[in-house]
């Protein structure tokens, strides 16, 4: 693929900036039909799932993305691999703007950027055998010869720890963990460089979760992959990530090295989130900060800082009126909060 270096010199391949997300927005617009508009005076609703997010992902790293349900983390992941059309902003992959890529160019991008879905029960077609499921990406990436395809499928199944004899089985014949392995094999079929891993273990039994996490880490080492790892389980994110971004209501509130985020959280939301993790080790338990209320609706996010309605460290008027920007307060540690 032809690489176009950026004019303003933002892209610095030597430092390994691999994917750049610039001011990305994804709004879901709910337009009521004419009748409802006239009769019930319903108005257009805009759900701001991802609202102005900028981040870089370096080659070979794992960026963890955490946040509560409805904060837009899955939407962000899906928008990056272009499963959703971004409303605004830019996605730059290896120096190439793929925000509006179409046709062949999009196909090329899809070969390089793949996704592993959260629910291994709904992400596999129940009427297709494993062989059929894994053939689709192989055909799309140009493996036309059936023998070669079969060999690739055998290799893939073997790589994710499944028996190739199960190639002609249907998804229902596998357990949850095994299905997730099929999902991983499907993502690997394209030999991607970048994978969005969307909550890979949240639907899987506890004793199997560690197997899947280890498999993902091994694959990353072996195939030199880059992950965007989305999860709500903070201890899993801590374990796999090099850097972590914390999302709240469509915005990134804090981003930095994993150790910085977990041992020196700056944003009040991150602090509360970390304190809520139940821990096995009694001595490690942090003093619990119990947040009041629930996450406001992304249709009408609060004015000013979006966390101001639940914040226990609110400074006053400013928090309710001025939206804080994501600022670098320590090296590589970004926070969006008026306290800093």
Partner 1 sequence: MLEIRNLKVVFETDRGVVKAVNGIDLTLERGKILGLVGESGSGKSMTLLSILRLVPYPGKIVEGEILFEGEDLLKKSASQMREIRGKDIAMIFQDPMTTLNPVFPVGEQIRESLRVHNIIKPEKEGILGFLGERDRRKKEYEKAVELMEKVGISYPEKRYFSYPHQFSGGMQQRAIIAIALSCNPKLLLADEPTTALDVTIQAQILDLLRQINEVNGTSIIFVTHDLAVAAEFCDEIAVMYAGQMVEKGPVDKVIGEPKHPYTKGLLKSIPKITRKKEKLYAIPGNVPDLASLSPKGCPFYERCEEAVEECKEVELPLIEVSDGEFVRCIKYL
**Which C-beta is closer to partner 1: that of 91 or that of 255?**
255
Least Å from the CB of residue 7 to partner 1: 40
**Which C-beta is closer to partner 1: that of 23 or that of 279?**
279
**Which C-beta is closer to partner 1: that of 89 or that of 296?**
296
CA atoms within 13 A on the CB side of 245: 23
Least Å from the CB of residue 333 to partner 1: 17
**Which C-beta is closer to partner 1: that of 69 or that of 145?**
69
Write a three-state SS string for the chain. Answer: CCCCCCCCCCCCHHHCEEEEEEEEEEEEEECCCHHHHHHCCCCCEEEEEEEEEEEEEECCCEEEEECCCCCCHHHHHHHHCCCCCCCEEEEEECCEECCCCCHHHHHHHHHHEEEECCCCCCCCCCCCCHHHHHHHHHHHCCCCCHHHHHHHHHHHHHHCCCCHHHHHCCHHHCCHHHHHHHHHHHHHCCCCCEEEEECCCCCCCHHHHHHHHHHHHHHHHHHCCEEEEECCCHHHHHHHCCEEEEEECCEEEEEEEHHHHHHCCCCHHHHHHHHCCCCCCHHHCCCCCCCCCCCCCCCCCCCCCCCCCCCCCCCCHHHHHCCCCCEEEECCEEECCCCC
Least Å from the CB of residue 78 to partner 1: 20
- Non-local CB neighbours of 300 within 8 Å, separated by 6+ positions: none
Least Å from the CB of residue 136 to partner 1: 26
Query: What angle do the packed helices 176-188 and 130-140 form, to 10 degrees?
Result: 20
**Which C-beta is closer to partner 1: that of 19 or that of 157?**
157
Least Å from the CB of residue 69 to partner 1: 6
Under the rule (CB under 8 A), what is the footprint of partner 1? 68-69, 175, 177-178, 205-211, 213-214, 217, 232, 234-236, 238-239, 259, 262-263, 272-273, 275-281, 284-285, 288, 290-291, 293-295
**Which C-beta is closer to partner 1: that of 145 or that of 221?**
221
CA atoms within 13 A on the CB side of 101: 21
**Which C-beta is closer to partner 1: that of 69 or that of 127?**
69
Least Å from the CB of residue 296 to partner 1: 10
**Which C-beta is closer to partner 1: that of 156 or that of 274?**
274
Least Å from the CB of residue 81 to partner 1: 24
Least Å from the CB of residue 206 to partner 1: 5
């Amino acid at each position: 693929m032809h690489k176009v270096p950026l004019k303003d010199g933002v892209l610095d391949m030597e430092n390994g900036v691999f994917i750049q997300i610039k001011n990305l927005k994804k709004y879901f617009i709910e337009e009521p039909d004419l009748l409802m508009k006239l009769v019930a005076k319903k108005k257009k609703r805009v759900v701001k799932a991802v609202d102005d997010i900028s981040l870089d992902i370096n080659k070979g790293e794992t960026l963890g993305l955490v946040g509560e349900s409805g904060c837009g983390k899955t939407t962000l992941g899906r928008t990056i691999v272009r499963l959703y059309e971004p409303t605004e902003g830019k996605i730059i992959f290896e120096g190439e703007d793929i925000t509006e890529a179409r046709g062949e160019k999009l196909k090329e991008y899809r070969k390089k950027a793949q996704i592993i879905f959260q629910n291994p029960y709904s992400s596999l077609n129940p009427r297709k055998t494993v062989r059929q499921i894994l053939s689709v990406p192989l055909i799309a990436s140009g493996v036309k010869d059936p023998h070669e395809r079969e060999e690739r499928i055998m290799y893939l199944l073997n790589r994710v720890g499944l028996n190739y004899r199960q190639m002609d089985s249907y998804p229902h014949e596998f357990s949850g963990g095994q299905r997730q392995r099929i999902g991983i094999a499907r993502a690997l079929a394209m030999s991607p460089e970048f994978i969005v891993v969307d909550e890979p273990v949240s639907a899987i039994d506890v004793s199997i979760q560690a197997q899947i996490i280890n498999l993902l880490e091994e694959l990353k080492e072996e195939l030199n992959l880059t992950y965007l790892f989305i999860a709500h389980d903070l201890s899993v994110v801590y374990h796999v990530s090099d850097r972590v971004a914390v999302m709240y209501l469509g915005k990134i509130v804090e981003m930095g090295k994993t150790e910085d985020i977990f041992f020196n959280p700056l944003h009040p939301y991150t602090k509360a989130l970390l304190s809520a993790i139940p821990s096995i080790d009694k001595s490690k338990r942090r003093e619990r900060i119990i947040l009041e209320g629930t996450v406001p609706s992304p249709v009408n996010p609060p004015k000013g800082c979006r966390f101001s309605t639940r914040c226990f460290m609110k400074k006053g008027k400013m928090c309710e009126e001025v939206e804080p920007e994501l600022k670098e307060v320590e090296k590589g540690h970004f926070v969006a909060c008026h306290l800093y």
